[in-house]
Amino acid sequence: MASQPIAELTPAELAQRPIAEIATHLKLNGEDRRLSIEPWTTLLDLLRDKLDLTGTKKGCDHGQCGACTVLIDGVRTNSCLKLAVTLDGREITTIEGLGQPGNLHPLQAAFVEHDAFQCGYCTSGQICSAQGLINEGHAHSRLEVREQMSGNICRCGAYTNIADAVLQVLGQEDRK
Amino acid sequence: MIRFDYFRADNVADAIRAGTPNHAAFLAGGTNLIDLMKENVARPLELIDINRLPLRQVTELDGGGLRLGALVTNSETAYDKRIQARYPMLASAILAGASPQLRNAATNGGNINQRTRCYYFYDVDTPCNKRTPGQGCGAIGGFNRNHAVLGTSEHCIATHPSDMCVALAALEARVQVEGPEGERTIAFADYHRLPGDEPWRDTTLRPGEIVTAIDLPPEGFAANYTYLKLRDRRSYAFALVSVAVGLRLEDGRVAQARIAMGGVAHKPWRRAEAEEVLIGREPDDQVFAEVADALLAGAVGQPTNAFKIELGRRAVVRALRQAAAGTPQSQTDKRIR
């Protein structure tokens, strides 16, 4: 079947044709993971459904809400729009890799301190996005933080407190 | 999403060979294609991952321009010091679009090849001539707030959604492509199409051709430019109307003018006769109004987007004022002055 040109297959044959899983090496939260992945698996689905890292949330699944934001080589990205197989050799950091109970990341502590969430569903994405914002270094004022955090929607409308939390950590970073 | 075969291409020749069949698609940043695949609008049987191709550099061109590699991300482009200094209109337009996360993933080649965000194109349960030729157009007579008022056809009133492309049109960029028959250069004005009788064709790219770079000419209009974007919310929304302006002033008069509009047509909208109105004139609101009339002449609104014609007229006047005064629109402080 593999030798038959794909365009000559019937829809039923197309749906049944064997498709190889792809060997993919990820450095995930500091750990080497050698995985075999179906090509259509998004990074978001891989994290949540295969690797039991459910801190990363599925909101819209279309790149419109930011709940699935993770860091790829330190750069914030929507994990719902990345196929996992395209990330071979890359370093992925999720909320679980930033901090843990008892050892909170400064952004996590600041979000608690400033009450920067209500339902909490967008929070992991907000925090990963804020870490990406800090890494990028383009935001310093409240106006810049608000614009640079605009890829993360909060349905509860905790934006004022989110900006407070991010500005607090940004201030600590700028003083370093 | 349908099941597909996946290939990692290591060089341009392999990518072109694998990507030439019409059931194959190139994958770069994925921000648009993966989304379209989830909605079953795009159904490639083979996905050619081009992320390993050596197209990740911004380089100087002989004669003073810059070459943007197709795989350089939108963020890398917008924050590149050379782009910020010499092509601030392009940096501004990129930062007016999408979100930081999306700009970090989206590539320059992908940006110019993104598809329309027409609701009917995206919804496979409604008719769309762009998605399924001959099916009819749901947007005509439907809900058409983000649709076109210029250059439409009876088959399609979709708009091109890119902000970056509006600036590239004003800068008269050139698109470098490589395909089964070799390399060629496409002027930006010829890259995107009006819908006409073939609304399914967004660009003049041929089967198997891949964008390798976007070249910027030496003139970047860095002193007198703006990118003004009007939308339903201040950030993270597509343009209802946007305007890119680049002016070169000599002794208080306009020596050269470029104006392109987004959100109003199937491609960035330019008209030479509108730009010529400005040449040799002192910039003032009277002249700007003449420019707006020339640029928008013949515009036809639909029931829920006719407002774009007057909005567009006012946006052109305001953008020309900003550019002439050397006070470009900020993409952080969204107040319009």
Give the CATH number for residue B35. 3.30.43.10
Q: What is the DSSP letter of B83?
A: H
* pLDDT given for residue A17 in this prediction: 86
Mean pLDDT across chain A, nearest whole number? 94
Residue B279 lies in a domain: yes
For chain B, the domain total comes to: 2
Q: Between B31, B101, B236, which is nearest A69 by CB?
A: B101
Which amino acid, residue B335?
Answer: R
Query: Is residue A9 pLDDT above 90, yes or no?
Result: no
Residue B236 lies in a domain: yes
Which amino acid, residue B204?
Answer: T
Choose, out of A1, A40, A87, A159, the residue to mutate when testing the contact with B (most B CBs < 10 Å): A40
Is B101 an 8 Å CB contact of chain A?
yes
Identify the H or E element spanning B112. Answer: helix B108-112
- Kindly tell me the burial class for residue A20, based on how many C-beta atoms sit within 10 Å of its own C-beta (0-12, 13-18, 19 or more): exposed
Among B320, B325, B322, which Cα is nearest to B337's?
Answer: B322
* pLDDT given for residue A4 in this prediction: 61
- Tell me the shortest Cα–Cα distance from A19 to chain B, in angstroms: 6
* pLDDT given for residue A16 in this prediction: 85
Size of interface A-B (CB pairs under 8 A): 99
Q: Does B23 contact A6 at a Cβ distance shorter than 8 Å? A: yes
Distance from C-alpha of B244 to C-alpha of A101, rounded to nearest angstrom = 49
Q: Does A19 contact B99 at a Cβ distance shorter than 8 Å? A: no
Q: For the whole model, what pTM was predicted?
A: 0.97
Residue B84 lies in a domain: no
- Tokens representing residue A107 in the block: 């952004």
- Tokens representing residue B197 in the block: 């009788």
Is B299 an 8 Å CB contact of chain A?
no
Q: Does residue B53 contact residue B30 with C-beta atoms inside 8 Å?
A: no
Q: Does residue A17 contact residue A9 with C-beta atoms inside 8 Å?
A: yes
Q: Between A69, A136, A147, which is nearest B235 by CB?
A: A147
Is A39 an 8 Å CB contact of chain B?
yes
Among B289, B296, B306, which Cα is nearest to B270's?
Answer: B296
Residue B315 lies in a domain: yes
User: By residue range, what is the domain housing residue B44?
Assistant: 5-51
Query: Is residue A176 pLDDT above 70, yes or no?
Result: no
Angle at B280 between CA B279 and CA B281, to 5 degrees: 90
Among B35, B31, B34, B76, which Cα is nearest to B55's?
Answer: B76
Residue B18 lies in a domain: yes
User: In chain B, which residues have their Cβ closer than 8 Å to the Cβ of A77?
Assistant: 101, 104-105
Residue B333 lies in a domain: no
Residue B20 lies in a domain: yes
Give the CATH number for residue B283. 3.30.390.50
Q: Does B104 contact A76 at a Cβ distance shorter than 8 Å? A: yes
Q: Does A81 contact B34 at a Cβ distance shorter than 8 Å? A: yes
* pLDDT given for residue A10 in this prediction: 83
- Tell me the shortest Cα–Cα distance from A144 to chain B, in angstroms: 6
* pLDDT given for residue A1 in this prediction: 36
Residue B316 lies in a domain: yes
* pLDDT given for residue A2 in this prediction: 42
Choose, out of B40, B47, B75, B99, the residue to mutate when testing the contact with A (most A CBs < 10 Å): B99
Cβ neighbors of B73 (< 8 A, separation 6 or more) are B29, B103, B104, B105, B106, B107, B108
Per-residue HEC secondary structure of chain A comes to CCCCCHHHCCHHHHHHCCCCCEEEEEEECCEEEEEEECCCCEHHHHHHHHCCCCCCCCCCCCCCCCCCEEEECCEEEEHHHCEHHHHCCCEEECHHHHCECCECCHHHHHHHHCCCCCCCCCHHHHHHHHHHHHHHCCCCCHHHHHHHCCCCCCCCCCHHHHHHHHHHHHHHHHHC
- Tokens representing residue A30 in the block: 């500091």
Distance of CA B18 to the CA centre of its chain: 27
Stretch A63-90: mean pLDDT: 98
- Tokens representing residue A132 in the block: 């990406």
User: In chain A, which residues have their Cβ closer than 8 Å to the Cβ of B235?
Assistant: 147, 150
Is B23 an 8 Å CB contact of chain A?
yes
Q: pLDDT truncated to tens, each residue of chain B (337 aa)?
A: 889 999 999 999 999 999 999 999 999 999 999 999 999 999 999 999 999 999 999 999 999 999 999 999 999 999 999 999 999 999 999 999 999 999 999 999 999 999 999 999 999 999 999 999 999 999 999 999 999 999 999 999 999 999 999 999 999 999 999 999 999 999 999 999 999 999 999 999 999 999 999 999 999 999 999 999 999 999 999 999 999 999 999 999 999 999 999 999 999 999 999 999 999 999 999 999 999 999 999 999 999 999 999 999 999 999 999 999 999 999 999 999 9
Residue A8 pLDDT class (50, 70, 90 cuts)? confident
Cβ neighbors of A31 (< 8 A, separation 6 or more) are none
Which amino acid, residue A33?
Answer: R
Query: Is residue A5 pLDDT above 80, yes or no?
Result: no
First to last CA, chain A: 61
Distance from C-alpha of A6 to C-alpha of B256, rounded to nearest angstrom = 53
Q: Between B6, B100, B234, which is nearest A151 by CB?
A: B100
